[in-house]
Chains A and B, each alone.
Chain A
Amino acid sequence: EVVLTQSPGTLSLSPGERATLSCRASQPLNSDFLAWYQQKPGQAPRLLLFGASFRAIGVPDRFSGGGSGTEFSLTISWLEPEDFALYYCQQYGDSPFTFGPGTKLEI
């Protein structure tokens, strides 16, 4: 099973700042199968990025992703108030699909 580790666990920033979230895999991944989700309290997860760097429909271009092998990142270039939420990475190339433990982005 591929284990995903996310860092930091909590990231405290202010609107207008840049956020960089990391996701590390226990073994090399095919970057085609790395996704990032955003979850707000009381809501279902929302797909942000798939294939490591492709934005889902409707996702603002301040969200970007990259990486390869075992190291991946999600960058929010300037934080809007609505971006403060939980963020999960997920690999869906090897079964069982696995999620990271999440990074809480807080003000």
Chain B
Amino acid sequence: EVQLVQSGAVMKKPGESLMISCKASGYKFTSYYINWVRQMPGKGLEWLGAIAPFDSSNTYNPSFRGHVSVSVDRSVSTAFLQWRSLKVSDSALYYCARRPVSGARMAMDVWGKGTTVSVSS
């Protein structure tokens, strides 16, 4: 079964660092981009950025560049989203989702269940 399993909910304080994960299974990890999408409470979807596991190249939404970073560990088929210094406004539900590297027309067809990040002093 194709799955993206995300790490559990976390509570942090402003200024702290955080890394959340997205573990892929059931498919060839390097054949799909991993995208990260934010959903603030009661709001819509925002694309943060993506990474290509085959070469770790990445692209970011300018609105989030410099505040978050994406990475992968191919040895464990896992992608990561990281913050060096969290803000209260980072409180949201974060999804990872895959999109094929080839088959250009295909969109984000498999999503993780999401990781809730709560930032409060």
Question: Hey, which bits of chain A sit against chain B, CB under 8 A?
Answer: 1, 32-33, 35, 37, 39, 44-47, 50-51, 54, 56-57, 88, 90, 92, 95-102
* Residue contact A32 to B63, C-beta cutoff 8 Å: no
The count of residues in chain B whose C-beta lies closer than 8 Å to any C-beta of chain A is 25
* Residue contact B95 to A44, C-beta cutoff 8 Å: yes
Residues of A within 8 A of B104 (CB): 32-33
B76 at the interface (CB under 8 A from A): no
Q: How far is the CA of A102 from the CA of B42 in the complex (A)?
A: 12
Residues of B within 8 A of A39 (CB): 45
Task: Tell whether A97 pairs with B105 under 8 Å between CB atoms, given A44-B112, A44-B113.
Answer: no
Q: How far is the CA of A95 from the CA of B45 in the complex (A)?
A: 15
* Residue contact B47 to A35, C-beta cutoff 8 Å: no
B111 at the interface (CB under 8 A from A): yes
* Cross-interface CB contact of A98 among B47, B109, B114, cutoff 8 Å: B47
**Whole-angstrom distance from the CB of B87 to the nearest CB of chain A?**
20
8 extra A-B contacts, CB within 8 A, seeds A45-B108, A47-B107:
A32-B105, A37-B45, A45-B95, A45-B97, A46-B111, A50-B105, A101-B44, A102-B45
Q: How far is the CA of A96 from the CA of B61 in the complex (A)?
A: 5
B66 at the interface (CB under 8 A from A): no
**Whole-angstrom distance from the CB of B66 to the nearest CB of chain A?**
14
* Residue contact B59 to A95, C-beta cutoff 8 Å: yes
* Residue contact A92 to B45, C-beta cutoff 8 Å: no
Residues of A within 8 A of B60 (CB): 96
Instruction: Please name the residue on chain B nearest to A101 by beta carbon.
Output: B44
6 A-B pairs closest in CB distance: A35-B107, A96-B61, A51-B105, A50-B107, A44-B111, A97-B47
Interface string of B45-57 (1 = CB under 8 A from A): 1110010000000
